[in-house]
Chains A and B, each alone.
Chain A
Amino acid sequence: MLAALLPVDHFLIMTVYAVLVSAFFALLWREEARDRWKLFGILLASLVLGGVAVGWLMYPFPS
């Protein structure tokens, strides 16, 4: 299976997800290549950094 190619790494799985979602919405919402790359970067950074931020916020909570 493809999962065997990817290590079970939470950050990597989250980042791959962010890449796919960012690329999808950049293609859907923008027409020009430059605009698409710009939106892709903004969405990717928001998702990844947002995920890390939420992870830090959840850190004090017991598992």
Chain B
Amino acid sequence: MSEVSDASRRRGALAVLLAWVFPGLGHFYLGRRKSAVLFAVIVIACFVLGLSFEGRLYTIQSGQPLTILATFAVYGAGLPNIVARLFSANPGGSALSVTYEYGCAYILTAGLMNLLLMLDAWDIATGKKK
């Protein structure tokens, strides 16, 4: 098992933080600029389409334990999620909309994809991924 230096850990931690703040920013920091731009476009497109489809920005609700997982997933999207919560006219989505379920799926997927990007940034920074 290979040792990870303190410098790599610090670099990895910063990359993970940047990746959470904005999709692709962690990869951009690590020098993978082309991939970073493409990741940003994909994740942001997914998130914005989810909002456009009147999906829900989940919050934890008592008696509904699955909303804990959903909220964790949505917060994985980082800054776009925060901005959307602050400025969205309808953060709870529109359950009666025909596209509501699609919107939720798009938003959750965007958050989960960004969580994967955070893990990927850590692996790149610590040398676990070339």
Contacts and interface: CB of A to CB of B under 8 A. Distances in A.
Range of interface residues on chain A? 10 to 19
Interface residues of B, number: 24
Contacts of B113: 21, 24
Contacts of A6: 49, 52
B53 interface: yes
A62 B109 CA distance: 29
A28 B38 contact: no
A21 B49 CA distance: 13
A5 to B, nearest CB: 9
Interface of B: 35, 38-39, 42-43, 45-46, 48-49, 51-54, 98-99, 102, 105-106, 109, 113, 116-117, 120, 130
Contact of B99 (A13, A24, A27, A31): A13
Given A23-B42, A27-B38, A17 B105 contact: yes
Contacts of B116: 28
Contact of B109 (A2, A17, A23): A17
B109 A1 contact: no
Interface of A: 1-4, 6, 8, 13, 16-17, 20-21, 23-24, 27-28, 31
Contacts of B106: 17
B120 A23 contact: no
Contacts of A4: 52
Contacts of B54: 3
B104 to A, nearest CB: 12
A39 to B, nearest CB: 14
